[in-house]
Amino acid sequence: MQWILQDIEDSHKLAEALDKSQVAFTLHTVIPFVGELMPEPTVNNPNAVVLFGSYILWRTAEAKITSQVSSS
C-alpha cells in the first residue's frame, strides 16, 4: 500500500501516523493553475494507492497511475 499525500497542514499528522506504522507515503505540492505535482509521484503498484488531498492532486495522480498501467 502506498499513500500519495498533498503537502498541507492537515496531511502532516496523517504522515506521522503512516510513518509510525511503516506505511509507504510521499508528500507532494500541487502547483496551482498548472495541475502538476512536485515532486512527480512514482507509483510502485497502481492497484494499491491511496490519495489524500485536493481534487487536483487526485486528478493528476490518477492520470499518472493510468499512464503507468497503460504503458506496462
Note the pLDDT of residue 28. Answer: 95
Question: pTM score, two decimals?
Answer: 0.82
Note the pLDDT of residue 27. Answer: 96
d(CA 23, CA 67): 24
pLDDT tens per residue across span 26-72: 999 999 888 789 998 888 888 899 999 988 888 888 887 777 656 65
* Burial of 53 (C-beta count, 10 Å sphere; 0-12/13-18/19+): buried
Note the pLDDT of residue 38. Answer: 94
Q: What is the pLDDT confidence band of residue 5, given thresholds at 50, 70 and 90? A: very high
Q: Domain ranges in the chain?
A: 2-71
